A = this chain, B = another copy of it.
Amino acid sequence: MENFIAYNPTILHFGRDVLKDLGSVVASYGKRVLFVYGKGSIKETGLYETVISQLEKEKLRIYEYSGIRPNPVIEDVDSASALGKLKDIDCIVAVGGGSVIDSAKAISIGTPAFHSAWDFFTGKAKPKEAIPVIAVLTLAATGTEMNKFAVIQNNRSKNKIGYGHDLMYPKHSFLDPQYTVSVPQNYTSFGITDLIAHALENYFGKGEASLPDRFVYSIVHEAINYGPELLTDLSNVELRGKIMYAATMALNGLTMHGRTYGDWGVHGIGHVLSVLYDVPHGASLSIAYPAWIRLMSDRIPERITELGKEIFGADSPEDTAKKLEAFFSKTESPVRLSQVGIDNSKHQLIRDTLSKNKVSGMNHQLSEADYDKLLELMSV
């Protein structure tokens, strides 16, 4: 095992009706609350009312910032930070999926700063303080509810950057699987893809760590066992809970123990597809992962086969790629660019963007020639 520090101070409230404690938890951080959410689906599910009544019960002053987009953009982060500064907020309540919670984490460091939060993402500045974030999760996917990372998109510079700091852990996260029941089949599927991809990015990172490897197998097994069942029974709260919990465990640090860093090359490729063609994050990963595994087949054949054997009973790198791809297809997550409307005429722009952003893995480097090969593998 490599040396590591395990630290995760987020308090996770998991289960049915846990929101009954939201008001008192928020009130413990102060009176002035910035309430951040997306395009309003929480108004359809009744969650908006529940949150408001919890905050009003405690007589809190509520400032709303809504309209956060699925691939969240820095403009929203900066506008909300300005509002937060103007209203001198004590805490942020973020209600939504990864995009809303990631935005809230960026707002939490952006509010006390006197520059765009983008400077943190590009490394131009380091956060010194943060407004506490209390998250209410509505989509099982990114794991942001229990980690210190946020991924934000910049449409001007055409890139999407992940950044993390110990100040960015949510103080509390509320996970009631009942509020994920309304997530439609395609996004439920993309969430399953996303959680598997997170576990794999760490699995392919640097450092031999046998028990964390077993945790990876456990998490992926769980997704593979219960994911397809959930997709045929979307209102099953018990299954929603299993997937929600698995997604949290996939990226809360557990699978990183004993490793120096994850790989994240596949996420880099996926981010380019999202930023150029607004491909949903999970969908970009189900396209990129099988291609990446095939690309790496003769570089790390044993590592890939070990994974494939544990998860699918596969017996070779190609068999692993094939079975992972078959799983994604079964859950109707796309596995080729053509399935998200990206034809060969767009390869040049994708290739140039990969190149411009120097997309690579931290553990397994990607060369210019690899970009061509990956594009081919994502297309055939």
Contacts and interface: CB of A to CB of B under 8 A. Distances in A.
A10 B9 CA distance: 8
Given A210-B222, A221-B214, A246-B211, A4 B14 contact: yes
Given A18-B3, A218-B218, A249 B12 contact: no
A242 interface: yes
Contacts of A6: 11-12, 14, 146
A254 B226 CA distance: 20
Oligomer: number of copies: 2
Nearest to A221: B214
Contacts of A226: 210
| Interface footprint category on A | 35 or more
Contacts of A218: 211, 214-215, 217-218
A143 to B, nearest CB: 13
A214 to B, nearest CB: 4
A3 B175 CA distance: 10
A265 interface: no
Interface string A222-257: 100110000000000010011001100100001001
Nearest to A216: B218
A2 B238 CA distance: 10
Interface in A1-57: 1-18
Nearest to A238: B1
Contacts of A268: none
A225 B6 CA distance: 24
A168 interface: no
A225 B246 CA distance: 25
B11 A15 contact: no
A284 to B, nearest CB: 25
Contacts of A7: 10-12
A225 B210 CA distance: 10
